[in-house]
Amino acid sequence: MPEARREAFMARIRRGEKIEAHDWMPDDYRLLLLRLIHMHAVSEIMGAYPEKEWVPKAPTLRRKMSLMAKVQDEIGHGQLLLRVAEDLAAPLGRDRMELMDDVITGRVKFHNVFHMEAPTWADAGIIGWLVDGAAIITQTALLDCSYAPYARVLKRICAEESFHMQHGESIILSLAEGEPWQREMLQEALNRWWEAILFFFGPPVVTDAARRMMEYRIRSRTNEELRQKFLTRYVPRIRAVGLEIPDSALRFDEEAGLWRYTEPDWERWSRVVRENIGPKSQERIALRRMAHQDQAWVREALVRARTAAVV
């Protein structure tokens, strides 16, 4: 019987049907999705911190408003995704609080790029332009995900990310067209971020989890396909603004139809994500602890006040 149920589920997947939160699903489908979406949600929230640092310092009123709006969007994406993750986690007896606790205890990982420092205003621009640009590529590849609630949320997220990319591009263009020291600041920021952005797509090896996600049509592209797409889209744009990509081995191999590049240090970056040992990992986890644990009295007060109002 369970096998027949699973087979019927796979038949739905093969027909391209979408799965809803209350549909029956195999446990490993649920777990794969939960791991993916939980990490995505947490990465959106942790991704707000590097840019949040620049909100108070943004150099004009327009930049300040636009950066605030972007950080708000990122937290908003985290919220939308947490709702999707909560539904998946509920049958496992886990709730929002636990999903957030996992950030603090290190049970859930977040993207490598958000463990990094953003020491200059140019870094804030690079994050919007290239990190969000990279995220658009990985997220649009999931728009056809077999899990309908995730696909629906991604539609909105992708639309907003494209504004973020334009916001980043606008900062970049001002710097690129600005004073020599502004261009230098920009080049240094690109040098700092390049390897991390290449790693962002994940190692080229197709892991067992990735293979199962493809079978379930949770995702359809490999990490390497997505990285290649990013290079095709962004290498010409980066060069067009007069920046030099910090990789002398970078070239397009016409014969193979592939970009060749110096590989990121897969092991080092994997450890950054796995063990939270990037330059800003612990500081940003501490910020989340401040929001989640230090403000617990506020959430408790709300529950008491609402209960009192009902009684």
Partner 1 sequence: MAIEADARVRDAILGGLALQLADEELFLGHRDSEWLGLAPEVEEDVAFASIAQDEVRHASFWYELAEACGFGQADALAFDRAPSERRHAALCARPNGDWAYTVLRHYLYDAWDAVRLAALAESGDEVWASGARRMLREEHYHHLHMERWVVDLGRAGGEAAARLRGAFAALLPDLPDLVAFAVDPQALVDLGILSRPLADLRRAFVARVEATLSRAGLPAEEIAARLAAHPREGARQTAPDHDAAALLETMNGVRSLGAAVW
Sites of contact with partner 1 (CB under 8 A): 45, 48-49, 52, 54-65, 68-69, 71-72, 75-76, 78-79, 82, 121, 171, 174, 177-179, 181-182, 287-288, 290-291, 295-302, 304-306, 308-309
- Please report how close the Cβ of residue 294 comes to partner 1 at its closest, in angstroms: 9
Token match 């907003």: residue? 160
Residue 121 or 230 with smaller CB distance to partner 1: 121
- Please report how close the Cβ of residue 182 comes to partner 1 at its closest, in angstroms: 6
For residue 83, give the 3-state DSSP assignment.
helix
Residue 125 or 202 with smaller CB distance to partner 1: 125
- Please report how close the Cβ of residue 217 comes to partner 1 at its closest, in angstroms: 29
Residue 45 or 108 with smaller CB distance to partner 1: 45
Residue 256 or 310 with smaller CB distance to partner 1: 310
Residue 19 or 108 with smaller CB distance to partner 1: 108
| CA gap 146, 126 in Å, rounded | 32
- Please report how close the Cβ of residue 121 comes to partner 1 at its closest, in angstroms: 5
Strand runs labelled E in the chain: 251-253, 258-260
Residue 178 or 279 with smaller CB distance to partner 1: 178
- Please report how close the Cβ of residue 156 comes to partner 1 at its closest, in angstroms: 13
Residue 262 sits at φ, ψ, to 5 deg, of -75, 125
Q: Of 43, 14, 28, 17, which is closest to residue 88 (Cα–Cα)?
A: 28
Residue 222: left (phi > 0), alpha (psi -120 to 50), or beta? beta
Residue 201 tokens read as 């797509």
Q: Of 22, 19, 149, which is closest to residue 83 (Cα–Cα)?
A: 149
Residue 65 or 92 with smaller CB distance to partner 1: 65
- Please report how close the Cβ of residue 189 comes to partner 1 at its closest, in angstroms: 13
Residue 272: left (phi > 0), alpha (psi -120 to 50), or beta? alpha
User: Is 115 within 8 Å of 276 (Cβ atoms)?
Assistant: yes
| CA gap 274, 37 in Å, rounded | 17
- Please report how close the Cβ of residue 42 comes to partner 1 at its closest, in angstroms: 11
**Up-side HSE of residue 188: CA atoms within 13 Å toward CB?**
12
Q: How far apart are the first and last CA of the chain?
A: 47
